[in-house]
Structure 1
Amino acid sequence: MGYEWLALLAAFLWAFSSMISVTPARHLGTFAYSRWRMACVTLMLCSAATFMSGWSSLLHQDYAVMALSGLIGIFIGDTALFACFNRVGPRRAGLLFSCHAVFSAILGVWLFDESLYGWKLVGAILVFSGVLLAVFFGQNKRAHSWEKVNGNLWIAISLGLTAALCQSLGAIIAKPVMSSGSDPIAASAIRMATALTAHCVLFCCGFKIAKASSPMNWSILGQVALNGFLAMGVGMTLIMIALSRGDVGMVGLLSSTTPIMILPLMWLFTRQRPSLLSWVGAILAVAGTGMILKF
């Protein structure tokens, strides 16, 4: 299988995993769901890193760097994403999260003296335009419960953009370690374990937001574990294999098609066809991401 198909399959797995996140995320609540999901993924990643002897590739200073990346990118970023997810559903949350490509480009200008003009600037404008179009105008009149806004829409938008920004910051912090040839599974395990530890501290300190909205059961636990396995276990592994075989920009472009793939899956799961503006907004966002990554 060519690396292009691997990247597309990873994007599909991320889209599909967002569908099976709806029930457990709303059952447990944002913080409890994130904590359980991180616990499952941490166990998977640590087991894989131990089995593949990946820990030896990390230097002592790498642990602190990856821990910081995990606190920002996963503890804050993932938690904000699922808080957004619970408020506006997987379609809007996925679109808002796609802004991480724009934030990465802006941070590159600020931190590394990179440029943001020409096609990159056009791409950034397209991403934001597509997101705004789909978030504000892409809902059917008789919307499914997954499409309804729970609470203040602007708070949800702020949470989605916070998740995208934290994803970009976490990736930039981790970049030196990953560029040095460290094992990606072991590095990801440190990020995930750090985020899990932070969540557990919140829970043990008795913070109300960290408590589950409803009790955990075997059905919900199975859905949480399946989500973690598909999104982080299989999906990220496919991306790593694709990056080792092909062009980085093309892998990034193809793996960013998740917002488009979510739409037919939403149609399948909810039995409601997404509106035309949902499709237009998702296509604009993915096209803009492609311009940022390729130019």
Structure 2
Amino acid sequence: MPVPFLGEGFALGASVCWAIGPLVAYKGVEALGTFRFSMYRFFTAALALFLIAFALGDVHLDNIRAMAYLAASGVIGVALGEAALFQAVFLLGPRRASLIFALHAPLTAVLGSMLFREAVMPLTVLGLTLAFAGVYAAVIFRAPTEKAGGVYHKAETVRLGFVLVVVALACQVVGALLAKEVVDEVAPFFASFMRTFAAAIAFFPVFLVFRGAPRAKANAHLHIVVVSALVSTIGGMTFLLAALASTEIVRAVILSSMSPVIYIFLMSVFRGERFPVAAWIGSTMAVVGAAMAVLA
């Protein structure tokens, strides 16, 4: 008996994981650096995902087509996309980079519905528009107490920063579309393993170039790496792939993109951050729009 809104539940699970992820990872990133932390996280997640898939009997080594698509999705969408986004955030700052990168969600939804010939109702389009307008408001109107870091407002870095964030956006869209093509042919944990393992292999040269020296002993922060891998990579990626396999790409993308809204709620409750009223209005718009799109 099919479970109603199962794919939508998976997508919300991915969104929750990606909202919690930065709260878990920030100390590890601060101590190890973004590239070193990501490299450790990729390999930790890949190993754990393979063991889980093997234990469940879900290793599909005979499906070469699915493995190739998922590996390409991991290299493009995870490794290259994350490397480009890291550098874009460093050059542009998190706010400007986030505003551009957030476009990946509506682009993925629109292109995905066209490529996979999914029927989209007018109410779904309205809900999609409202949801992403709300997400944008949630991203733009951040708490004044939120800290930022990096190299900002230098004329020589702005152009490269914009190029890199557009590259990251394109990689994210292509990676999601490649995964959607085959994700229903294999189990979610094995699909996540293929993407993460391919990303780890592809990310390794980037790590060697940009790793720098750690600011603290790695052993002291391995528990953060493990928890981050569990939440962001294993949880978020597996939930997203399960959502793509279980529901239309438009619904999966809309609900998995609610992490800024969930992040605002978490930061307000657990960190005492005071966000502007406009951010809460945007969050409400996003929730209403997502509900309209899903229930249409």
Contact persistence 2:31–2:214 (CA under 8 A):
yes
Match of 2:146 among 139, 144, 148: 144
Contact persistence 1:106–1:116 (CA under 8 A):
no
Contact persistence 2:192–2:237 (CA under 8 A):
no
Distance 1:94 1:288, change over 3 A: farther
Report the Cα distance in structure 2 between the residues aligned to 1:37 and 1:229, rounded to whole angstroms: 9
Match of 1:167 among 155, 169, 172: 172
Match of 2:52 among 48, 55, 80: 48
Q: Name the amino acid aligned to 1:224.
A: V
Distance 1:284 1:83, change over 3 A: farther
How far has the Cα of 1:42 moved from its partner? 0.7
* 168-177 or 74-83, larger mean C-alpha shift: 74-83
How far has the Cα of 1:117 moved from its partner? 8.8
Q: Name the amino acid aligned to 1:201.
A: P
Offset from partner CA, 1:207-246 (integer Å, 9 cap, x none): 2x23345244233221121011123334455566778888
Distance 1:293 1:71, change over 3 A: farther
Contact persistence 1:19–1:265 (CA under 8 A):
no
Q: Name the amino acid aligned to 1:61.
A: R
Report the Cα distance in structure 1 between the residues aligned to 2:12 and 2:201, rounded to whole angstroms: 32
Distance 1:133 1:61, change over 3 A: closer
| Equivalent in the alignment of 2:183 | 178
Report the Cα distance in structure 2 between the residues aligned to 1:158 and 1:288, rounded to whole angstroms: 30
Report the Cα distance in structure 1 between the residues aligned to 2:162 and 2:135, rounded to whole angstroms: 10
Report the Cα distance in structure 1 between the residues aligned to 2:163 and 2:286, rounded to whole angstroms: 18
> 1:24-173 alignment to 2 at 5 Å?
24-56=28-60, 58-83=62-87, 98-108=102-112, 111=115, 118-119=122-123, 121-123=125-127, 125-126=129-130, 129-136=133-140, 138-141=141-144, 143-145=145-147, 148=148, 150-152=150-152, 162-173=167-178
How far has the Cα of 1:262 moved from its partner? 0.6
Report the Cα distance in structure 1 between the residues aligned to 2:245 and 2:22, rounded to whole angstroms: 26
* 51-60 or 76-85, larger mean C-alpha shift: 76-85
* 33-42 or 216-225, larger mean C-alpha shift: 216-225
Q: Name the amino acid aligned to 1:37.
A: R
> 1:158-237 alignment to 2 at 5 Å?
162-179=167-184, 181-204=185-208, 207=209, 209-237=210-238
| Equivalent in the alignment of 1:261 | 262
Report the Cα distance in structure 2 between the residues aligned to 1:189 and 1:150, rounded to whole angstroms: 32
Distance 1:83 1:16, change over 3 A: farther
Q: Name the amino acid aligned to 1:193.
A: F
Report the Cα distance in structure 2 between the residues aligned to 1:18 and 1:168, rounded to whole angstroms: 21
TM-score (norm 2): 0.75
Unpaired runs of at least 5, structure 1: none
C-alpha RMSD over aligned residues: 4.0
Contact persistence 1:34–1:79 (CA under 8 A):
no
Identity %: 29
How far has the Cα of 1:93 moved from its partner? 7.4
Contact persistence 2:126–2:289 (CA under 8 A):
yes
Offset from partner CA, 1:26-78 (integer Å, 9 cap, x none): 33223222211101111111111222222236422333222211111110223
